[in-house]
Amino acid sequence: MVDQWARRMLIAFALAFLGLFVGLPILTVFLEAFAHGLGPYFDKLREPETLAAIRLTLVVAAIAVPLNVVFGLSAAWLISKYRFPGKSLVVSVIDLPFSVSPVVAGLIYVLLFGKRGLLGTWLEGHGVSIIFAAPGILLATVFVTFPFVAREVLPLMQDQGSDEEEAALTLGAGGWRIFAQVTLPKVKWGLLYGVILCNARAMGEFGAVSVVSGHIRGQTNTMPLQIEILYNEYDTVGAFALASLLMLLSLATLIAKKAIERRQHP
C-alpha cells in the first residue's frame, strides 16, 4: 500500500515538474506566437530582418557542423588509434568548450580579432573584419560546438578497438578505404547523434555569438539574437513566432535523436 502511494506520488511529482518547467513554457511559446492568428504569425516570419537572421543561422550551422564532423572524426581517430605525447592534453582540450562560459568564449575572439586585438589590427589593414561580422559568429559557433561530434564518436572508437581495421589492413586495404568501409560504418550512429546535437547547439547558441555579433540588424543577427531584440521591443508575436521556429527545429532534433536511439538498441 505504502509502496503504491509512494510510487504514485513520485509519478505525480515528476509529471508536475515536467509540466511546469518544460511543457508550460513550450505551450506559452506557441500560444504567444499564434496570439493574433496564423496571418500575423507568417507576416512576422517574413519580415526582412527576421528572414536575414534565419538565413544567417542556417548558413553558420551549414558551415560549422561539417567542420566539426571533420574535426571530431579526426580527433577521435587520432586519440583512439594512436599513442602520442600530449594525448591526455588533447582529450581535455576537447572538453574545454563545455567548461568555459560561452560569454568568455566570445570575449576570447573579441580580444583576438577585435579592433585593438592581437590579430585584429593586422586583419583590418588587409580589409578583413571578423568581429561584428559573420566570420566572427562562425568562429564562436565552431568553438562552442566542437566537442559534440568528438565526444560522441571517441568512446565508440575506443570501445570498438582496431581489430576490424587491422583485419582490413591485412586483407590489403589502404587507409582511406579502411576509414570509409570499416571505421565509418562502425561509428555512423554515434556520428549522426553527434551531428544532431552539434546542429541543435549551433543554431541555438546565444552567449558566445552575442558577444562577437555586434547586433547589426539584418546582417549579424542570428535567430536567438533576433528573438531577444524583438522581445525587448515588445514585439511579442514576432519574438515568439521566431522562437517557435527555433523550437520546432529542436523538437525535430529530439525526434530524430529518439529514432536513432531506437535504431541503435532495437
Partner 1 sequence: MNLSVRNVTKRFPAKATPAVFDACFTATSGGITTLLGPSGSGKTTLLRVVAGLETADEGQVLFDDRDVTRVPARARGIGLVFQAFALFNHMTVSRNIAYGLEVRGASEKEKRERVLELLELVQLDRYGDRFPRQLSGGERQRVGFARALACRPEILLLDEPFAALDARVRVELREWLTRLHESTRLTTILVTHDQDEALELSAQIVVMDQGRVVQVGTPGEIYDDPKTPFVASFVGTANVLRGRVEGEKVTIGPLSVSAPRGAKEGARVQAIVRPHNVRVAKNDAEHPERSVGTVTRVVGLGSFVKLQLEIPSHDPMTVQLTRTEAESMGLATGDKVIVDLAEARIFFEDYSI
Site residues (vs partner 1, CB under 8 A):
83, 161, 163-164, 166-174, 177, 181-182, 185-186
Task: State which residue, 43 or 166, has the beta carbon closest to partner 1.
Answer: 166
Task: State which residue, 176 or 234, has the beta carbon closest to partner 1.
Answer: 176
All 3 cell numbers of residue 107? 570575449
CB of 164 to partner 1, least distance (A): 5
19 DSSP assignment: I
CB of 174 to partner 1, least distance (A): 7
Task: State which residue, 87 or 215, has the beta carbon closest to partner 1.
Answer: 87
Task: State which residue, 78 or 247, has the beta carbon closest to partner 1.
Answer: 78
Task: State which residue, 165 or 205, has the beta carbon closest to partner 1.
Answer: 165
Q: What is the DSSP string of the chain?
A: -HHHHHHHHHHHHHHHHHIIIIIHHHHHHHHHHTTT-HHHHHHHHTSHHHHHHHHHHHHHHHHHHHHHHHHHHHHHHHHHH---TTHHHHHHHHHHHHHS-HHHHHHHHHHHHSTTSTTHHHHHHTT---TTSHHHHHHHHHHHHTHHHHHHHHHHHHHH-SHHHHHHHHTT--HHHHIIIIIHHHHHHHHHHHHHHHHHHHHH--HHHHHHH---TTTT--HHHHHHHHHHTT-HHHHHHHHHHHHHHHHHHHHHHHHHHHHH--
CB of 86 to partner 1, least distance (A): 13
CB of 169 to partner 1, least distance (A): 5
CB of 190 to partner 1, least distance (A): 14
Residues 6+ apart with CB under 8 A from 28: none
Query: 236-264 and 24-33 helices cross at what angle (nearest 10)?
Result: 130
CB of 135 to partner 1, least distance (A): 39
CB of 154 to partner 1, least distance (A): 20
Task: State which residue, 28 or 264, has the beta carbon closest to partner 1.
Answer: 264
Task: State which residue, 8 or 263, has the beta carbon closest to partner 1.
Answer: 263
